[in-house]
A and B are shown apart, each in its own frame.
Chain A
Amino acid sequence: MCGILAVLGCSDESQAKRVRVLELSRRLKHRGPDWSGLHQYGDCYLAHQRLAIIDPASGDQPLYNEDKTIVVTVNGEIYNHEELRKRLPDHKFRTGSDCEVIAHLYEEHGEGFVDMLDGIFSFVLLDTRDNSFIAARDAIGITPLYIGWGLDGSVWISSEMKGLNDDCEHFEVFPPGHLFSSKGGIYRRWYNPPWYSEAIPSVPYDPLVLREAFEKAVIKRLMTDVPFGVLLSGGLDSSLVAAVTSRHLAGTKAAEQWGTQLHSFCVGLEGSPDLKAAKEVAAYLGTVHHEFHFTVQDGIDAIEDVIYHIETYDVTTIRASTPMFLMSRKIKALGVKMVISGEGSDELFGGYLYFHKAPNKEEFHRETCRKVKALHQYDCLRANKATSAWGLEARVPFLDKAFIDVAMSIDPEWKMIKPDLGRIEKWVLRKAFDDEENPYLPKHILYRQKEQFSDGVGYSWIDGLKAHAAEHVSGKMMQNAKHIYPHNTPTTKEAYYYRMIFERFFPQNSARLTVPGGPSVACSTAKAIEWDAQWSENLDPSGRAALGVHVSAYDPAAVPSSLTTGTGAAMLVNKKQRVMEAKAPELTISS
């Protein structure tokens, strides 16, 4: 990843302004430790902090077209840049950077080119010929982007909030899949896939098509000139990423430079479930596996830094970000600059626990659509910022545009959890990689139900966080919470503690509005709460009782129903206590 900051039309060309922009850009230095650049044109500034993954020697930014009339600062990877270059035979390229193609595409096609890009990106492009600019963000929001407005009439665009929050009167999250054009000053959605309307698709499930689409998504992401690895928690998603990567690594350019040995990384408290599961997968795949152990104290000591970097007060995100943040530092210390990670699968395939309760395929599908649309505020935010904090780039093959199109066009009937048919969560994905001849993973791993991330790192992690928060937040403080934080009021001491830290770094009203809130059951959207009458009726903000009902619904002793026969059900029962522990906090955020 890189860090971008653009200040456009600030009516100030002074040295002092330049120095200020440089200073703000340095706040994004962790994202791009390798080099920095600033292009100034009149009262427009385009700054860049670079993490060099492709063409480390010559790709410093900002980038230009031939006559330097078009300037672009980009955070991203354009996986199809070679193909796009070929389509621009009369253009002369200055660097080997994959992002340079953006300047040339704009020159050739105007603003309509964004959907031609296959990859992850946020960019600001300045056309000095008429002093106009555009900014755009990738389809799902894998790369972060914020937009703000100054009292001087300036427009600000930055990879992280900290690059603009002190200098803008108002700022907000730049919506994913959108383009902002200075001509007219409006957003326009450039990303228009069939699933976006939330209409119910009817394409029958074809496991081989899904498998192939995922393989292609992974292969694209092996484009790198620097050492890389995979994040391996031992769950289905990360194990598939590792299995497919190791299968295709040998033929790639990266292997020529850095060898065909795949490195995998896992973090956890000593003896944690993830460490054990990941080691098993790594041994099966034969990767060079790196285990990182952290202590609860290490994690707690990092919390402030994590909140500063991730820019959220969402409890689940902070819990899950912290181990990832710690691991990223260790990964970077080994000289690895890029990792492939498994985010997005749970959203596309309805992998969360509460999907068991989806009343019908229509509701199931709409909920997956809503989850994918919200990814940029949760898992994408976490995966990108937790790694970028240490100059590490995370790539997420499950969020490949073409793969999403395939996965979201499957008739959702197939995604429904049907214990009677032996279909556990994400069955369509598991089935797609269930190859008897040439197995990607052993069956028991392929069909294993895994802990959620924060739980998998070790059960005492969440307990430790809660105990720590309880030392900082008194009962009295909680009583006044709704007056102190009327928006997204924290309802647990843990949430209150995170919120205090967040407010210290980002005191503006705009900042707190960038973080989502609202009712939720175990990671569900607010809409899905309607799935179970007891969920919405339950006013206990911790939602523990609601989830208890949910879990016990599978408990054969409590509710002897057809649901209890599936493998998934049995496992849930076995892990009842943990599931409740993990889920409770998601329920805590209510507006």
Chain B
Amino acid sequence: MCGILAVLGCADSSLVKRSRIIELSRRLQHRGPDWSGLHCFQDCYLAHQRLAIIDPTSGDQPLYNEDKSIVVTVNGEIYNHEELRAKLKSHQFRTGSDCEVIAHLYEEYGEDFVDMLDGMFSFVLLDTRDKSFIAARDAIGITPLYMGWGLDGSVWFASEMKALSDDCERFISFLPGHIYSSKKGGLRRWYNPPWFSECTPSTPYDSLALREAFEKAVVKRLMTDVPFGVLLSGGLDSSLVAAVALRHLAKAKVARQWGSQLHTFCIGLKGSPDLKAAREVADYLGTFHHEFQYTVQEGIDALAEVIYHIETYDVTTIRASTPMFLMSRKIKSLGVKMVLSGEGSDEIFGGYLYFHKAPNKEEFHSETCRKIKALHLYDCLRANKATSAWGVEARVPFLDKQFIDIAMDIDPEWKMIRRDLGRIEKWVLRNAFDDDQNPYLPKHILYRQKEQFSDGVGYGWIDGLKDHANEHVSDAMLMNANFVYPENTPTTKEAYYYRSIFERFFPKNAARSTVPGGPSVACSTAKAVEWDAAWSKNPDPSGRAALGVHAAAYQEAPEKTLATENSSSLDGRPQKLQDAMVEATATATAL
């Protein structure tokens, strides 16, 4: 990843302004430790902090078209840049950077080229010919982007809030899949896939088509000139990423430079379930596996930094970000600059526990759509910022545009969890990679139900966080929480603790509004709370009772063929159950 900051039309072209922008841009230096650049055109500034993944020697930014009349600062990877270059025969390219194509596409097609880009990106493009500009963010919001307005009439864009929060009167999270045009003066959605309308699709499930789409998504993401690896928690999603990456690595260009040995990385407290599960998968695949163990104290010591980097006070996100943040530092210290990661699968296929309660396929499908639309506020935010904090780039093949189109086009009947038919969560995905001839993964791993991330790193983690928060937050403080924090009021001491740290770094109203809130049960959207009368009726904000009912429902059903592993694990570990429920409290979506 890189870090971008653009200030447009600030009516100030002084040296003082320039050094202020350099100073602000430095707040994004962790995202791009390799080099920085600033292009100044009158009162417009485009700054860039670069992490060099493609063309490390010449691709410093900002980037230009031939006559330098178009300037662009980009955070992203354009996987189809070679194909796009081929379409722009009359254009002369200055660098080998994948992002340069953006300047030339704009020159050729105007504002409408964004959907031609296959990849993840946030960019600001300045057309000096008429001093207009556009800014855009990738379809799902894998890369972060914020937009702000100054009292001087300036428009600001930044990869992270910390670069603009002090200088803007108001700012927002830039909507994924949107483009802002200074000429048209507003945000417009450029991403219009069929699933966006939330209509229920009817294409029958084709396991091979799904498999092929995912393989393509992974192969694209092997485009790199620097060493890379795979984040492997041992669960289904990360194991599939590792299995597919391994299968295609030998043929990739990167293997010629850095060898065909695949590196995998896992983090956990000593003896944690993830470490064990990942080790098993790594052994099966024969990867070069790196295990990182951290202590609860190390995690707690990092919390303030995590919140500063991730820019959220969402409890689940912070819990899950911390181990990922620590691991990223270790990964980077090994010289690895890019990792593939498994985010997005749970949203696309309805992998969360509460999907067991989906009343029908229409509801199931709409909920997956809502979850994907909210990804940029949760898992994308975490995956990107936790890694970027240390100059590591995370790529997420499950959120490939084509893969999403195929996965979201499947008749959701097939995604429904049907214990009677032997279909557990994400069955369509598991089944797609169930290849008896040439197995991607052993069956027991392919059909294994895994801990959620924060749990998998070790049960002591969440307990440790709660204990720590209890030491900092008194009952009296929590009682006044609704007065102190009327918006998204924290309902647990842990949430209160995170919130107080967040407010210290980002004290503005606008900052607090970038973080989602609202009711949720175990990661559901607010809408899905309606699925179970007990959930919505339950006034306990922790949703504890509601989820208890849910778990118990399975306990009464003895058909062990189904998701019983889930229920028994919940019953067997009451502490863990509580954790899942507390997660429910602070998690929700803005939709």
Contact = CB atoms under 8 A, between A and B. Distances in A.
Tell me whether A and B are bound partners. yes
Nearest to B26: A305
A390 interface: yes
Interface in B38-67: 38, 52, 56
Given A26-B305, A334-B56, A329 B33 contact: yes
A335 B227 CA distance: 10
B15 A472 contact: yes
Given A22-B304, A304-B22, A333-B33, A15 B471 contact: yes
Contacts of A390: 33
Interface stretch (B156-164, B325-333, B488-496, B576-584): B325-333
Contact of A333 (B15, B22, B26, B35): B35
Contacts of A329: 33-35
Interface string A4-46: 0000000000010011001100100000011110100000000
Nearest to B471: A15
B304 A33 contact: no
B304 A471 contact: no
B322 to A, nearest CB: 14
Contacts of B472: 15
A332 interface: yes
Given A15-B471, A329-B35, A390-B33, A335 B335 contact: yes
A52 B56 CA distance: 23
A55 to B, nearest CB: 12
Contacts of B23: 304
A56 B33 contact: no
B38 A38 contact: no
A276 interface: no
**What size tier do the contact residues of chain B reach?**
20 to 34
Contacts of A335: 226-227, 335
Contacts of A22: 301, 304
Contacts of B79: none
Contacts of A66: none
B427 interface: no
**What size tier do the contact residues of chain A reach?**
20 to 34
A290 to B, nearest CB: 9
A330 interface: yes
Interface in B289-333: 301, 304-305, 329-330, 332-333
A472 B18 CA distance: 13
A332 B330 contact: no
Interface in A322-353: 329-330, 332-335
A304 B38 CA distance: 15
A493 to B, nearest CB: 14
B22 A301 contact: yes
A327 to B, nearest CB: 11
B333 A332 contact: no
A33 B330 contact: no
A16 B330 CA distance: 27
B38 A33 contact: no
Given A56-B333, A335-B335, A304 B33 contact: no
Contacts of A472: 15
Contacts of A23: 304
B403 to A, nearest CB: 32
Nearest to A326: B35
Nearest to B21: A301
A521 B330 CA distance: 48
Given A304-B23, A390-B33, A333 B56 contact: yes
B19 to A, nearest CB: 6
A472 B334 CA distance: 43
Given A304-B22, A304-B23, A34 B329 contact: yes
Interface in A368-416: 390
B214 interface: no
Contacts of B228: none
Contacts of B18: 301
Contact of B330 (A15, A35, A226, A333): A35
Contacts of A333: 33-35, 52, 56
Contacts of B26: 305
A453 to B, nearest CB: 22
Nearest to A301: B22
Nearest to A50: B333
A555 to B, nearest CB: 40
Interface string A43-61: 0000000001000100000
Interface in A449-491: 471-472
Contact of B333 (A15, A35, A305, A471): A35
Interface in B331-379: 332-335
A472 B14 CA distance: 11
B52 A471 contact: no
A35 B333 CA distance: 8
B19 A304 contact: yes
Interface of B: 15, 18-19, 22-23, 26, 33-36, 38, 52, 56, 226-227, 301, 304-305, 329-330, 332-335, 390, 471-472
Given A34-B329, A471-B15, 16 more contacts: A15-B472, A19-B304, A33-B329, A33-B390, A34-B332, A35-B329, A36-B301, A38-B301, A52-B333, A226-B335, A227-B335, A330-B35, A332-B34, A333-B33, A333-B52, A335-B226
12 contacts: A22-B301, A23-B304, A35-B330, A36-B301, A52-B333, A227-B335, A301-B19, A301-B38, A304-B19, A329-B34, A333-B52, A334-B56
Question: Which 3 pairs show the lowest CB-CB distances between chains A and B?
Answer: A34-B333, A333-B34, A335-B335
Interface of A: 15, 18-19, 22-23, 26, 33-36, 38, 52, 56, 226-227, 301, 304-305, 329-330, 332-335, 390, 471-472
